[in-house]
Amino acid sequence: MTASPFTIRKLEAFCYRYPLQTPVVTSFGTMLNRPAVFVRVEDEDGVAGFGEAWCNFPAPGAEHRTRLLNEVLAPAVIGCSAAEPLQLFERLTEGTAVLALQSGEAGPFAQAIAGIDLAVWDLFARREGKPLWRLLGGSGPTIRVYASGINPAGARATAEAALERGHRALKLKIGFELVSDRANLASLRDAVGDGIQAADVNQGWSLDQAVRLAPELASFDLAWLEEPIRADRPWSEWQALRNRIGTPLAAGENIASRAGFTQALGDDVLGVVQLDVAKWGGLSLGVTIAREIRKAGKTFCPHYLGGGIGLLASAHLLAGVGGDGLLEVDANDNPLRDLLSGPVAKISDGAVTLSEAAGIGIQPDFAAIEAHRIW
For residues 86 and 269, which CB has a smaller minimum distance to Mg ion in the complex? 269
By CB under 5 A, which span of 14-22, 130-138, 194-202, 278-286 interacts with Mg ion?
Answer: 194-202
3-state secondary structure of 348: strand
Give the 3-state DSSP-derived string for 185-253, with helices as H, strands as E and coil as C: HHHHHHHHCCCEEEEECCCCECHHHHHHHHHHHHHHCCCCEECCECCCCCHHHHHHHHHHCCCCEEECC
Task: Give the residue with the Cβ less far from Mg ion, 122 or 226.
Answer: 226
Q: How far is the CB of 203 from Mg ion (least distance, A)?
A: 9
User: Which residues 298-357 are close enough to bind Mg ion by CB under 5 A?
Assistant: none
Q: Closest distance between Mg ion and the C-beta of residue 227, in Å? A: 6
Let me know: does 325 contact 291? Beta carbons within 8 Å. Answer: no
Number of residues that bind Mg ion (CB under 5 A): 2
Q: How far is the CB of 328 from Mg ion (least distance, A)?
A: 8
What's the rounded Cα separation, in Å, for the pair 253 and 257? Answer: 11
Nearest CB to Mg ion, comparing residues 122 and 328:
328
**Least distance from C-beta 282 to Mg ion, angstroms?**
19
> Alpha-carbon distance 50 to 116, whole Å?
8
Report how far residue 153's alpha carbon sits from residue 283's, in angstroms, rounded to the nearest whole number. 35
Residues 6+ apart with CB under 8 A from 217: 174, 181, 182, 185, 199, 225, 247
Closer to Mg ion at the Cβ: 43 or 226? Answer: 226
Binding mask 75-94 for Mg ion (x = CB under 5 A): --------------------
Nearer to Mg ion, 43 or 200 (CB): 200
Q: Furthest-apart CA pair in the chain: how many Å?
A: 59
Q: What is the dihedral of CA 25, 28, 30, 33, to 10 degrees?
A: -110
Q: Using the rule CB under 5 A, is 200 a contact of Mg ion? A: yes
Q: Which is nearer to Mg ion, 272 or 285 (CB)?
A: 272
How many CB atoms neighbour CB 347 within 10 A?
A: 21
Residue at shortest CB range from Mg ion = 200
Whether omega before 58 lies within 30 degrees of 0, making that bond cis, reads yes
Of 201 and 207, the one with the shorter C-beta distance to Mg ion is: 201
Residues 214-253 that bind Mg ion (CB under 5 A): 226
Q: Kindly state the smallest distance separating residue 148's Cβ from Mg ion, in Å.
A: 8
From 89, 84, 73, select the one nearest 37 (Cα to Cα).
73
String of contacts with Mg ion for each residue 107-146, x by CB under 5 A: ----------------------------------------
Q: How far is the CB of 306 from Mg ion (least distance, A)?
A: 13
CA–CA separation, 24 and 305 (whole Å): 11
Shortest Cβ 276–Mg ion spacing (Å): 9
Binding site for Mg ion (CB under 5 A): 200, 226
